[in-house]
Structure 1
Amino acid sequence: MKTNVGGIDKILRIVAGLALMAWALMGGPVWAWIGIVPLATGLMGWCPAYTLLGMNTCPMKKP
């Protein structure tokens, strides 16, 4: 797995995931547990959807 999530994208995924999971814990709808997905992809730095779509938000590494 090559990292394809970086910077602001990673931060937004983690924050959104935590917010959705907190909502679920506070009595929100069951579907709010979907927050596990953005949290996991943000923490791992890899998104399978980005791989399928050929996207990458990581900065280019200099040799």
Structure 2
Amino acid sequence: MPAQSAIVAVLIHDHYNGQQTIRLPAEGFRDLHRSTNESLARMVSEHRQRYPQRPQHDQMHGR
């Protein structure tokens, strides 16, 4: 019989600023973390392609 993996409690925030705790096996937490990091990396990459040069501080504030 395979050994049970450790359970990890994760605090998540929903769109309404609510908080919930979910419990995942350690493997599930690693997969969730990897998926989140990949999504963030993709978003940053697309943003950098769309805006190749960083706007100057004054331009960001309409000055």
**TM interval, short-chain normalised:** 0.3 to 0.5
With normalisation by structure 1, the TM-score equals: 0.37
RCO higher in 1 or 2 (8 Å CA, sep ≥ 6)? 1
Q: Which has the higher strand share?
A: 2
Q: Which has the higher helix share?
A: 1
| Structure ID, larger Rg | 2
